[in-house]
Amino acid sequence: MPVRPPLSIRPREVQRVPTVGGDQPQPSGVLLFEDGGVAVTLLECRNIHKTYGHGVATVPAVRGVDMQLERGETLGLVGESGCGKTTLGRVIVGLNAPTSGKVVFDGEDVSGRLHEPEFRRRVQMVFQHPQSSLNPKFRVSTTLREPAILLTSMRNEELGQQIEQTLRLVGLGIEYQTRKPKQLSGGQLQRVAIARALMSSPDLIVLDEPTSSLDQSIRSRIIALLKDIQERRQVSYLFISHDLSTVRKIAHRVAVMYLGRIVEVSETEALFNDPQHPYTQALLSAVPSIDPDDRSERIILRGETPSPTALPVGCSFQDRCELVHARCRVEAPLLQETGPARHVECFAVQ
């Protein structure tokens, strides 16, 4: 059996390609930084499928997803419960193997190498419920020490310094080292979970509903913390959530998922101000508005969401869509560019 080459270690600093001329148009879909640089792609998902079960009892959770994430960017991934967004996140970090498709990280196909230590060091995950993702018997220092021991070459004296620095980075004092999860509040638990992810100095953190179990005031503090960490370390985030208001506060771009497919991708404000896919329009219409002059009505989708085990031929949204026509019932649309940095999976919009 041939020996698989190790995952290469590339420079961790953010790569910014200078633009040529401030007034020249840039390629669509490319993230621009305030200093005029163009972001470099860190992660690509190429035609990712994830199916559970065997034979006639198969359930497709992710169906042909193409997606990219830039260095230093936050990509929000939104959709209803059961749409496949958490499954996609778990595939990206290697907790679930894709049924087919490729995960390309920093220019390398790592699809069959997601358990290699160097990939695990560079890609971390923060889970929805820190109460269940943190070992109740471990003190905070042990929780933070473990990933550093497994994934880095830090010595004991370096580990102690790194733990103290990371605790301060997430807004916790060094006195928290000796505490166990039962001695911490919900917000403090999530800060420890974020600190654990940071201990290996990752390039990408997948955040799966990291604020859903927190009250609004603590939620805002966690979002501010994540933005501060990103500014300091240029880490990329895949921010998975059903809370659209929270996603709007943190994401540079947003991808909308429906029944295992990404149906719209756009820069955040463009998506919230002018959603194009009928499903995105309905999803955003449910977000409460603080504008007293906003008279827009909520869009109530007709029918029921199809079963993942019995999806219709053609567009999977056809039975709930007001724009459906004959082509939608025989052919599945693909993501197509409909404007600067915007892609939509809908014949009526394209």
pLDDT, residue 293, reads 67
Q: Are 260 and 305 in contact (CB under 8 A)?
A: no
pLDDT, residue 38, reads 60
Radius of gyration of the chain (CA): 21
Per-residue model confidence as pLDDT tens digits over 129-178:
888 899 999 999 999 999 999 998 888 888 999 999 999 999 999 999 99
Tokens linked to 323: 């724009």
Strand partners, 59: 52
Tokens linked to 246: 């929270």
Tokens linked to 275: 């959603």
Tokens linked to 99: 């049924």
For 57-107, give the DSSP string. G-EEEEEEEEEEEETT-EEEEE-STTSSHHHHHHHHHTSS--SEEEEEETT
Residues 6+ positions from 25 with CB-CB distance below 8 Å: none
Query: Is this structure's pTM higher than 0.85?
Result: yes
- Amino acid identity of 323? L
Span 13-38, average pLDDT = 41
Q: Which residue has the higher pLDDT, 54 or 15?
A: 54
> What SS3 class is residue 182?
helix
pLDDT for 334 beyond 60: yes
pLDDT, residue 171, reads 94
Strand partners, 123: 204
Span 206-229, average pLDDT = 92
Residues for the chain: how many in total?
A: 350
pLDDT for 341 beyond 50: yes
Q: Are 125 and 95 in contact (CB under 8 A)?
A: yes
CB atoms within 10 A of CB 189: 21
What's the rounded Cα separation, in Å, for the pair 265 and 343?
5
pLDDT for 308 beyond 50: yes
pLDDT for 228 beyond 80: yes
Q: Which residue has the higher pLDDT, 95 or 112?
A: 95
What's the rounded Cα separation, in Å, for the pair 312 and 144?
47
> What SS3 class is residue 122?
helix
Tokens linked to 136: 């109740």
> What SS3 class is residue 288?
coil
Span 313-319, average pLDDT = 96
Span 212-228, average pLDDT = 91
